[in-house]
Amino acid sequence: MTTDMNEDMSGGGVAGADTSGRTGRGGDMAADLRGVRVIAVEQAVAAPLCTRHLADLGAEVIKIERPGGGDFARGYDEAVHGLASHFVWLNRGKRSVVLDLKAEPGRKVLRRLLRDADVLVSNLAPGALERIVPDEELARLNPRLVRCYLSGYGATGPYATRKAYDALVQGEAGTITATGTPETPAKPGVSLADLAGGTYALTAVTAALYARERTGLGKRIDVALFDVLLEWMSPLLLAELHAGSAPPPAGLRHASIAPYGPYTTAEGQDVLIAVQNEGQWRRLCRTVLDEPGLLDDPAFASNTSRVRHRERTERAVQARLSGLSTAEVTERLERADVPYARLNQIGEVLDHPQAAATGRWSEATLPDGRAVRVVTSPLHREPEAPGGRRVPALGEHTADVLRELGLSQAEMDAPLTPPASAPLSGTSPSDASPSGTPASGTPASGTATSGTATSGTPTSGTSAPGTSAPAAPAL
C-alpha cells in the first residue's frame, strides 16, 4: 500500500557489511545482491514485499519506521506469538530504525543514509517523501541511487492524491468484478494489487541496478498499483475493446476455457480439472468419462464451442464424475494425462507433499529469540539454515545504525524530541500524526491518523504485541 507521510515513519540504516540479522541463508540466489544497501521508507505490503525479496537476494535492507508504532502492519493481528502475520512475512532479515521524519533531525539522518545507499524504496503517498527530500536533490546527493516510488495511482492525474488501499485499487481496476460471479463479485483472498505492485517494483529495481553497471547512474522508478492491475486485466480489457464485451466472471470456472473448474465426485469431494487443448479433451472423454460419443457432438467440437455451450459441457462432465469415487477420478485423470488438482483448505497446504519435498518451509527468528516456521522465499531453492532470519523489534537497530553513521555518544544519548506540532509541508495540522518521544528516549505511543497505506486493512498504528521499542537515540 501507499502511505501518507502523515501516517508515517521512523527508521534508518547504514553502510557496512551484512548486518541484517541473518543467521543463515540457503538457496542459489541468497547472495546475488550482497553489498547492496536498501533504504526502505515503507508501510504495509507493497514496498515491504519488494524489499523483503531484495533482502532474500542478499541486500542489506534498512527499514525506516515511525515513532510510536512503526509499520502499520505490526498491528494487523497477533497471530504469530503476538506478532502480526503480515509483518513476520514481509520483514524478516531487515534492520529496523526509528526516525521521526517530521522533525529536521530525523530528516537529516535520512539524507545521510541515502547519500551512501544503493536503493531507495518508498510507498508513501505521491509527493510525501519529496516534501522531505525532493527527488532532484536525491539525484544530486547520490547520482548512483536507484529511487523507486510505489503509489496507488501514480504521481499525476485526477486520482493521484486518492487513498490507495489494496481493495480500493482493485475496485477501480475491475479485478473485483472480474472475480467471483456476476451476482457476487469477490476480492481475491490475498492483497492482489499490493503483491503485483511489489513484484513489479522488485523487477524494476533489479533492472536499474544492472543498468547502473553500464551507466554509473541510478534512476527514478514509479510503480502505480492501478497501472499494474490494468496490465494484468489486459485479456479482459482487450476483449471489451475489440469484441464488444469481456467474458463474464465464472467463479472457479475459467471465463474462456471449458471444461475448467471443480467437479464433485461420489463422496462429495471436489477435484479441479483443467482442459487446455483438444488432445486433453479427447483423452478426458475416452479415458476419464468413458464417453467417446461426446467427441462427435458439434457443441463440443472446439473450446470456443464448448464455452458457448458451457452448461451442456459442465453437465456432461459432472454427470459421469458424480458416479465415480475420488480415487477412481484421480486414477483415470493420471492415466489420461489430463491436468487436475485438489481443492485444498489452508490447513491442508501446511502438509502438502510438494512443499515438504522441495524445502518450502524454513524458520525465522522472532525478537524474543523464538524460532517459527515460515515459507521459504520462492527465490531460494533450499530452506534457510536453522534459526532463519530475524524479524526486527521496533527500533531494534537504531543505535547501531546511528553509531555506524558516526554520531557522537553525546548526540546518541540525548533524547529525540521533535516539535509538539510540526505537520509536514502540504498537510493540515489535523492530518499530521502525533510524533515525538518522552524524555526517556523511547518512541512516543502516538498513532498516525489519516493517510494511505497500500495494503488493505487500516490499523491502529500501534506496535505489535511482543515487540520492544528500544530508545531512539538523538539524531
Contact 380, 29 (CB under 8 A): yes
Say which DSSP state 228 is in. H
Q: What letter represents residue 103's amino acid?
A: A
Please tell me the distance from the alpha carbon of residue 424 to that of residue 341, in angstroms, as a whole number: 52
Q: Where are the alpha helices (DSSP H) in 12-75?
A: 46-56
The H-or-E segment that residue 61 falls in is: strand 60-65
C-alpha 397/C-alpha 98 separation (Å) is: 8
The whole-angstrom separation of Cα 270 and Cα 47 is 37
Active site residues per annotation: 194
Q: What whole-number distance in Å separates Cα of residue 421 and Cα of residue 414?
A: 20
Residue 433 DSSP code: P
The C-alpha cell at 303 is 473450446
Give the C-alpha separation, 221 to 47, whole Å: 13
- List C-alpha distances in Å: 144 to 132, 216, 244, 394: 20, 6, 47, 29
- Positive or negative, the CA dihedral 445, 119, 378, 346 is positive
Distance (Å, whole) CA 19 – CA 2: 27
Distance CA 197, CA 45 (A): 9
CA distance 140 to 137: 5
On whether the CB atoms of residues 67 and 98 are closer than 8 A, the answer is yes
Q: CA 61: distance to chain centroid?
A: 16
Q: How far apart are CA 238 and CA 124, in angstroms?
A: 32
Report the SS3 class of residue 374. strand
